[in-house]
Amino acid sequence: PELVGDAAVLVPSGDAAAIGRAVGGLLADPARRERLVAAGRQQAETWPDEAATVAQVLSTYDELVQRG
C-alpha cells in the first residue's frame, strides 16, 4: 500500500475471487482505469531513483553491520 498509494486496486494475497472482482470492476469502468493510470504516474514520480535506492540499501547494511 505504501508503494502504490491510491493508484491501485489492492486485494488480499491469494484471494482469487477478490482478484476476479477487482479485474472485472476495472474492465467495466474505463473512467476508473484512467484515474488509476494518472494516479499511478503521479505516484511513481515520488519513488526514489536507482541511485537513491542503492544508497538507502547500503546505508541500512552499514547500520546492521555496525550493530552486529
Per-residue model confidence as pLDDT tens digits over 5-31:
999 999 999 999 999 999 999 999 999
Residue 63 maps to a domain = yes
* Structural domains of the chain, count: 1
**Residue ranges making up the domain that contains 48:** 16-67
Residue 9 maps to a domain = no
SS (H, E, C) the chain: CCCCCCCCCCCCCCCHHHHHHHHHHHHCCHHHHHHHHHHHHHHHCCCCCHHHHHHHHHHHHHHHHHHC
What pLDDT digit, counting tens, does each position of 27-58 carry?
999 999 999 999 999 999 999 999 999 999 99
pTM of model > 0.75: no
Residue 55 maps to a domain = yes
Residue 4 maps to a domain = no
Q: Taking 90 as the threshold, does the pLDDT of residue 68 lie above it?
A: no
Residue 10 maps to a domain = no
- Return the pLDDT at 29: 98
